[in-house]
Structure 1
Amino acid sequence: MKVISVQLCCIVFLSLTIVRAQPKKYSIHTVAFYNFENLFDTTDDVNTNDDEWTPKGAQHWTIEKYEQKLKNLSTVLSEIGMPDNSNAPVLIGGAEIENRAVLEDLIKQPKLLPFDYGIIHFDSPDKRGIDVALLYQTKYFKPTVYSNIPLRIYHNKVTLKEEEPQQDDDIEIKMADNHRVFTRDQLLITGFLEGEELHIIVNHWPSRSGGEKASSIFREAAGNLNRRIIDSLQKINPSAKVITMGDLNDSPTNKSVKTVLGAKAKKSEVGEFGVFNPFAAMLDKGLGTIAFRDSWDIFDQIIITESLLKADFSTFNFWKAGIFNKSFLVQRSGQYKGYPLRHSLTEVGFSDHFPVYIYLIREVK
C-alpha cells in the first residue's frame, strides 16, 4: 500500500508540474504607423494645392496610377507585424492623406476588406491639403471620443506664447507680421481595445523646409502640444495608456522628441508619467525609416507612456517594436538603391518612408 501511495503521489506531483509548465498564451495586437506619401485622388480640389496630383499635373497622376498606389499600400498594411502576428494591425496611423475618400478606397482593397477597418479623419489646414488619420479594426477597437487638436504656429518667432491661460490645447508661436504656418492637426482618439481604454495621438509634425535648424522651433512646438495632451490625459487618469505615433520629421535624439516631449531611450529611465521611445535604440544600431544623402534616420516613431511598460500582462502592455522594411519595399537599383521604394514618373512605388509598429500583448486566462 505504501508503494502504491508513493506512486500515486508521484503521479499527482508530475501532473501538477506538467500543468504548471504549460506555456502561457497571449492575445497580441499590432499597432502601426505609415506615411502613405502623397495619397491623392485624381480629382482637382479647388480648396487644396493638389494640382500636381492630377492627370494633367506634374506627376501625370492617372486613375491607373492611383489604383496601383492603393493596391501597393494595402499590400503593406495587410502584412505589417507578420510573422509574430498573423492578423493585420488593429490600429494604423496614417499621414499624407488628401481626404476621407481616399481612405474609403483604401480599406475597400481586397487585401484589407476582410479586416473591416473603420476610419477616423479630419481635414486639416495644411497648405498642401494633407491630413493624418486612424484606421481601426472594428472587431477589436471601439472609439468613444476623438478630436483634431490644432497646432497654431507663426513664422519667425522663437518663443511660445504662454502669458495667458490656454482655452484649449493649442500651442501658439507668434510674430509681428502674424504669418501663420499652416500644418497638420494632432488627432486624438480615445477608445477601448477589447475592453481596455486606450488613447492614441496621430501626428505629422512640421517639415524641415527651410532647414533643420531654422524649422526646429516648429517641431518643438508640436512636441510641446503633444506633451500637453498626454499630461491632460494623465491628469484625468494617472494610469492612462497613451500611444503617440507619427512622422515627427525629427530623430529620437532631436530636442522636440528627446527634451520637449521627454521620450526616453531606455525603459529604466522612464519615470512615473514619463514616455518611452523604443525607436531610439534602433537608431543607435544604424536602422532607419527614411534615407537622405545615403544617411538613415528614424522620423517615424511610436512612443508610449510608462503605464504600458508594466511587467504584468494581465492587461495589454508593450512587448516589442519594429521597422517594417521587407525587401519588396526597397529600391533595387539606380541612384537610390537601398532606399524606400517611392513613387516616380516611371513607377508607382509605396512610400519614401518605411512603416513602424509595436506589439501590445495580454495574457489569455
Structure 2
Amino acid sequence: MTSIKIISTAVFLVLTTTLCAQESKKFKIHTVAFYNLENLFDTINDPTKFDEASPIMEMSNGRSEVYKKKVRNMARVIADIGADKAQNSPAIVGVAEIENRAVLADVINDSLLVEKDYGIVHFDSPDNRGIDVGLIYQKALFQPINTSSHTVYIYDKITRKRVYTRDQLLVSGNLDGDLMHIIVNHWPSRSGGEQRSRNNRIGAAQVTKKIIDSLHILDPYAKIIIMGDFNDNPNNASIKNVLKAKANQEDVGLQGIYNPYERFHKQGLGSNAYRDAWSLFDQIMITHPFLDKDYSSFRFYKAFIFNKNYLTTKRGKWKGYPFRSFADGGFTGGFSDHFPVYIYLIKEVE
C-alpha cells in the first residue's frame, strides 16, 4: 500500500512515497472547492425575480455598505481555502446562492482575488428565490472546453405543481492539460420537512446521475467531480441509492463514485448546523480514475471541511455554528451559514 506524507511546501509539494523503501517525489497540487455563499444578492431590484425577499433587500438602509462587506468576506474565504498547502487560492471553485453573474464578478474583482484572474461560468436558473449556482476558475490553470446548464424538472407529490429549483451546471475543461468534468449542484431544500421534500432531492440526484452516465458513455474513464450543497447527508437515499456513492475507495468500481465526506459524517462533523444538529450537506465526490495510483495525471489526495476559527460564531446561542452573514433581519458581519469544502488534486512532476 502507498502512503503519501507531506514533507515541505513550496511551488510544488515534496512528498515521500513509502513502498519498499522511501523516495522523495515532487508533486504539483491544486485545490478544488465548493462554497455556499449564503444569499449573495446585489442591491438592485430585479422585476423578473423574487429578490426583494433576500436579506439584503429587506434591510431599510445601509445596503451598499453591507454588500461591499459581504463581497469582501466571500473573497477573503475563497482566497484562503487550501492556501496553506497549495500556496495558492483554489484553481476551481463551485458556488451556490448567488443572484447573478454580476455578484460573482464583484467577488473575483475584489483586491484579494483580482490578481488570480478568475473566469466565470454561470447560467440563470428558474429557481423561485432567484438564486443560481456558478463556477469560477483561475484562467492560467483551468481552461473550459464545454459548459452547459441542466434543468431539474420535479413536482410536489401533494400539490403536483412544479418545484422550481436550481439548474445543474456542467463544466468540462483542462486543469493543467488534464481533462475533467465538474458538476455543480444546489439540490432542493428540506422546506416542509425532510420526508416530504425527499423526492425532490431524489429527482435532482437522478438528473446528476444522467449527466454522469452521459459522460461515461463518451468515456468510461472520465474524471468527474460532483460538488454542491445537496441538502442531504452522505448517507441519504439521494446520494447512497441514486448516485451509489461509496465511503471506501476500495469499493468504487470503474464507473463508480467515491464520497470522502461520508467518513466525516460518520465522525459527527458537518458543514452547516440547525437546531443543535450538524449536517454535512456540502460535499465533493469523484469518479474512480481520480483514485488511481499512477500520478502522471491529477489524482485525489485529501478532502477537507474549511472551518477555520474566523468562520465560526464565537458567542451566544449559535456558538460554534458557521458565522453566517444575515440573522434577525440584519447583517452580522459574518460569512456564510455553510462552511466550504475542498479537495486537493496532485500530479507528479519531473
TM-score after normalising by structure 2? 0.91
Query: Do the aligned partners of 2:56 and 2:67 also contact (CA within 8 Å) in 1?
Result: no
**What's the CA shift for 1:292?**
1.0
**What is the distance in 2 between the residues matched to 1:296 and 1:126?**
26
**What is the distance in 2 between the residues matched to 1:292 and 1:355?**
16
- Matched residue type, 2:299: N
Q: Which residue of 1 aligns with 2:173?
A: 191
Query: Do the aligned partners of 2:221 and 2:254 also contact (CA within 8 Å) in 1?
Result: no
Q: Which residue of 2 aligns with 1:36?
A: 37
Query: Do the aligned partners of 1:75 and 1:111 also contact (CA within 8 Å) in 2?
Result: yes
Query: Do the aligned partners of 1:44 and 1:54 also contact (CA within 8 Å) in 2?
Result: no
**What is the distance in 1 between the residues matched to 2:183 and 2:100?**
18
- Matched residue type, 1:85: A
Query: Do the aligned partners of 2:235 and 2:262 also contact (CA within 8 Å) in 1?
Result: yes
TM-score after normalising by structure 1? 0.87
- Matched residue type, 2:155: Y
Query: Deviation per CA, 1:21-57, whole angstroms, max 9, x where unpaired?
Result: 6510001000000000000000111111111347762
Query: Deviation per CA, 1:54-106, whole angstroms, max 9, x where unpaired?
Result: 77625756000000001111110001013111110000000000001101111
* Higher share in strand: 2
Q: Which residue of 2 aligns with 1:180?
A: 162
Q: How is 1:5-84 mapped onto 2 (pairs within 5 angstroms)?
A: 23-53=24-54, 57-58=58-59, 60=61, 62-84=63-85
SS in 2 for 1:145: strand
SS in 1 for 2:285: strand
Q: Structure 1's 300 and 54: CA in aligned 2 closer, same or farther, altered over 3 A?
A: closer
Instruction: Tell which deviates more after alignment, 53-62 or 236-245.
Output: 53-62
SS in 1 for 2:294: coil
Query: Do the aligned partners of 1:28 and 1:360 also contact (CA within 8 Å) in 2?
Result: yes
Identity of aligned residues (%): 50
Q: How is 1:304-323 mapped onto 2 (pairs within 5 angstroms)?
A: 304-323=286-305
Q: Which residue of 2 aligns with 1:347?
A: 332
Query: Do the aligned partners of 2:83 and 2:90 also contact (CA within 8 Å) in 1?
Result: no
Instruction: Tell which deviates more after alignment, 346-355 or 334-343.
Output: 346-355
Q: How is 1:136-151 mapped onto 2 (pairs within 5 angstroms)?
A: 136-151=137-152
Q: Structure 1's 227 and 118: CA in aligned 2 closer, same or farther, altered over 3 A?
A: same
- Matched residue type, 1:213: Q
- Structure 2 unaligned regions, length at least 5: 1-20
Q: Which residue of 2 aligns with 1:363?
A: 348
CA RMSD across the alignment: 1.5
Q: Structure 1's 59 and 242: CA in aligned 2 closer, same or farther, altered over 3 A?
A: farther
SS in 2 for 1:216: helix
- Structure 1 unaligned regions, length at least 5: 1-19, 158-176
Query: Do the aligned partners of 2:41 and 2:56 also contact (CA within 8 Å) in 1?
Result: no
**What is the distance in 2 between the residues matched to 1:106 and 1:326?**
20
Q: How is 1:273-288 mapped onto 2 (pairs within 5 angstroms)?
A: 273-288=255-270
Q: Which residue of 2 aligns with 1:297?
A: 279
Find 2:200's aligned residue among 205, 209, 218: 218
Q: How is 1:155-174 mapped onto 2 (pairs within 5 angstroms)?
A: 155-156=156-157
Q: Which residue of 2 aligns with 1:103?
A: 104
Q: Which runs of 4+ in 1 moved over 6 A?
A: none
Q: How is 1:200-239 mapped onto 2 (pairs within 5 angstroms)?
A: 200-239=182-221
**What is the distance in 1 between the residues matched to 2:127 and 2:56?**
22
Q: Structure 1's 66 and 346: CA in aligned 2 closer, same or farther, altered over 3 A?
A: closer
Query: Deviation per CA, 1:111-134, whole angstroms, max 9, x where unpaired?
Result: 111110000000000011000000
Aligned residues: 327
SS in 1 for 2:215: helix
**What is the distance in 1 between the residues matched to 2:275 and 2:47?**
35
**What is the distance in 2 between the residues matched to 1:80 and 1:351?**
14
